[in-house]
Amino acid sequence: MIELKGISKTFPSQKGNQPVKALQNVDLHVAQGEIFGIIGRSGAGKSTLLRLVNGLETPTNGTVRVDGQEISQLAEKELRYARQKIGMIFQHFNLLQSRTVWKNVAFPLEMAKKPKETIRRKVDALLEQVGLSDRAQAYPSQLSGGQKQRVGIARALANDPKVLLCDEATSALDPETTSSILDLLREINRETGITLLLITHEMSVVQAICHRVAVMEGGQIVERGEVKSVFGNPKHSVTKQFVQQTEWMQSSDFPVQSTEKTRFHCSPDEMQDVWAKIGPAVQSGRVKVSVSERELKADGGMTFLIDGKREDVEQLLDSLHEEADLEVNVHV
């Protein structure tokens, strides 16, 4: 259903910056009806890859095919028709603030110049499907994050697309809401056979609903396959990190309850060094470290919570501070 061949994307240099090689020689094939996940750290090129699929970005090299059509070759008008068959949902929902829930869902149908009666029936049905019929006349500002994403999903499905692209669709939501949104996506996939391509930096999302996964790093796909085999036997260091994170999240109770509790945030660049220090401390059993899923920042950095006896916690923090270039922000 989605086929990327030999894709490279280089953003030209801007204001003296170096050109950015966002994607390098990427091949990807997503079968019809499949739920395919792409996981990677911030800046890995996930969003760029996704935006190529509906032509929001054009590849520097390579071809993009969706449902047999070569997206990069389409004339403007054909591209618009193709886009109606490729839904997209976003991390920050991107709803129109000036329209009610009902009018937001009607938007893509209006743009496709569908008759009024068709629009009315379709919107009512979609709101029913995502469980928001009673909020039809509310404005987005009056909804919770989960409800907003439901509107986003209903809107993306309005023109009966064959493909649904999800860009960090649950990253702004808390864990419970995340799982209810994922349930909804899985249900839609099962009922309509829609193909889902979703990108995320949370391994739990991939584990929850994806059939296959590709791990991205530095503009390339470094590992791919069935979810169980990729995460069960991680080969690339990035994949291993994702697996480690999740194990810790599962093994320690969150939130950490202690008077000695300490949190610190580290950026993606510091991650490698931080893991190296924390790993042994945790294995010794003297401190407990957890990562709040909510604190997994979109910048790819994350916030850790350390729990344990004061001297143990301090010792670990000292060793973190010793690390050159490592700036640990501690909030006690």
Partner 1 sequence: MFNEIDWATIWQATGETAYMVGISTFFTALFGVPLGILLVVTDTGQIWEKHWVQKAVATVVNIFRAVPFIILVLFLFPLAKFLVGTSLGPTAATIPLIAGAAPFYARIVETALREVDKGVVEAARSMGSTRFQVVVNVLLPEATSALISGLTVTCVTLISFSAMAGVVGGGGLGDAAFRFGFQSFNDGMLVTCGVLLVMMVQLVQWIGDWFSRQLDKR
State the residues that interact with ligand ATP by CB under 6 A. 11, 20, 22, 40, 42-48, 201, 298
Report the half-sphere exposure of 30 (CA within 13 A, side-chain side): 30
Q: DSSP letter at 13? A: P
Q: Which is nearer to ligand ATP, 45 or 308 (CB)?
A: 45
Least separation in angstroms between CB 252 and ligand ATP: 25
Q: How far apart are CA 236 and CA 177, in angstroms?
A: 31
Q: Is 111 in the site for partner 1 (CB under 8 A)?
A: yes
Q: Which of residues 131-160 bind partner 1 (CB under 8 A)?
A: 139-141, 155-156, 158-159
Identify the burial level of 66 via C-beta atoms within 10 angstroms of its C-beta, where 0-12 means exposed, 13-18 middle and 19 or more buried: buried
Q: How far apart are CA 265 and CA 292, in angstroms?
A: 11
209, interface contact from ligand ATP, partner 1, Mg ion, none, CB < 5-8 Å by kind: none
Q: Is 200 in the site for Mg ion (CB under 5 A)?
A: no
Q: How far apart are CA 234 and CA 223, in angstroms?
A: 8
Return the residue matching tokens 């990108």. 199
Least separation in angstroms between CB 116 and ligand ATP: 38
Alpha-carbon Rg of the chain, whole angstroms?
Answer: 22
Q: How far apart are CA 157 and CA 51, in angstroms?
A: 18
Q: Is 47 in the site for Mg ion (CB under 5 A)?
A: yes
Confirm if 216 and 236 have CB atoms less than 8 A apart. Answer: no
Q: Which is nearer to partner 1, 44 or 88 (CB)?
A: 88
Q: Is 283 in the site for partner 1 (CB under 8 A)?
A: no
Least separation in angstroms between CB 249 and partner 1: 29
Confirm if 62 and 6 have CB atoms less than 8 A apart. Answer: yes
Q: Is 92 in the site for partner 1 (CB under 8 A)?
A: yes
Q: Which is nearer to Mg ion, 47 or 147 (CB)?
A: 47
Give how many residues touch partner 1 by CB under 8 A. 32
Q: Which of residues 33-62 bind partner 1 (CB under 8 A)?
A: 54, 56
Choices 46-54, 96-104, 114-122, 128-136; region in contact with Mg ion by CB under 5 A? 46-54
Token pair, residue 204, equals 């739990």
CA neighbor of 223 nearest in space, from 248, 247, 206: 206
Least separation in angstroms between CB 198 and partner 1: 15
Q: Which of residues 262-301 bind Mg ion (CB under 5 A)?
A: none
Choices 26-34, 36-44, 85-93, 123-131; region in contact with partner 1 by CB under 8 A? 85-93
CA neighbor of 166 nearest in space, from 32, 39, 25, 22: 39
Confirm if 30 and 64 have CB atoms less than 8 A apart. Answer: no
Q: Note the residues at the interface with Mg ion (CB under 5 A).
A: 47
Interacting residues toward partner 1 by CB under 8 A? 54, 56, 79-84, 86-88, 90, 92, 94-99, 107-108, 110-112, 139-141, 155-156, 158-159, 165
